[in-house]
Structure 1
Amino acid sequence: MPLQMKLSAITLDCPDPLGLAGFYQQATGLELHPKSDAEFAGLNGEGGLLVGFQRVDDYRAPSWPDQTVPQQLHICFKVEETLDQAEAKLLELGAGKPEHQLDEAKYRVLTDPAGHPFCVVSSG
């Protein structure tokens, strides 16, 4: 019988926890955890899931798709908008778009302001 575990937190390394939390807060609408500060910030997700951002000295952003600095984590988000609309909004918020895209008709790979790759996928 497998151990009964519930995912309670996902934490991303970054140079600016409050800044990165702000990006994801604007992108997702999640609420900033009240104890967030310059060392560790969090967003309160559904079902008690905390998305955390911890400051790391000498942080090196992933170099996706090149693995010189591995991506370490990859997050996917379903979006209600079209992929073009979601991409445009996220780029306005500070996301980046790598040249390398595998299948733009199905999903878009973007990077957050700290360089972590993430995908947006149409929910329709």
Structure 2
Amino acid sequence: MSLRMRLCSITLDCADPPALAAFYQQATGLEPHPKSDDDFAGLNGGVGFFIGFQRVDDYRAPRWPDQTVPQQIHLDFAVDDLDEAEARLLELGAGKPEHQPNEARWRVLTDPAGHPFCLVRELVGE
């Protein structure tokens, strides 16, 4: 008998869960979880998916691409227009590291807590 698993949640460490949840809520349009507080906040992604943000004392932001503090995880978001999505996310408080390995296909940004994430071109029909 094989084990069947379905990813239902991702939780990111951070110093300020409500602020990081607000960033991703504005970026994605996901609904805030009603039981969020100062130590844990979340967003409901529909279809049984949840993104959580948990407070960690002495949180140290990842350094990308430097591995002094490794990224440990990153998220990828498919977008129709890389330039438009990047501009909107920078307005919301994202950062853009200098190192961009393939800017024509994807963009590496960092959320306000320092977690790297990528915007990838939606490739319809490829």
TM-score, normalised via structure 2 length: 0.95
Percent identity over the alignment is 72
User: In the TM superposition, what whole-angstrom CA distance separates every residue of 1:28-57 from its partner, at most 9, and x where no partner exists?
Assistant: 000000000100000001311110000000
- Find the aligned partners of 2:2 and 2:77 in 1 and give their Cα distance: 27
Count of residues paired in the alignment? 123
SS at match of 1:67: coil
- Structure 2 equivalent of residue 18 of structure 1: 18
CA deviation profile, 1:88-123 (whole Å, cap 9, x unmatched)? 000000000000000000000000000000000111
Which stretches of structure 1, 4 residues or more, deviate above 6 A after TM superposition? none
Unaligned runs of 5+ in 2: none
Structure 1 vs Structure 2 CA RMSD: 0.8
Partner residue in 2 for 1:97: 96
Q: Distance in 2 between matches of 1:35 and 1:51?
A: 13
Q: Whole-Å Cα distance in 1 between the matches of residues 7 and 101 of structure 2? A: 29
Identify unmatched segments of 5+ residues in structure 1. Answer: none
Q: Please give the TM-score of this superposition, normalised by the length of structure 1.
A: 0.96
Counterpart CA distance in 1 for 2:7 and 2:106 is 25
2:52 alignment partner in structure 1? 52
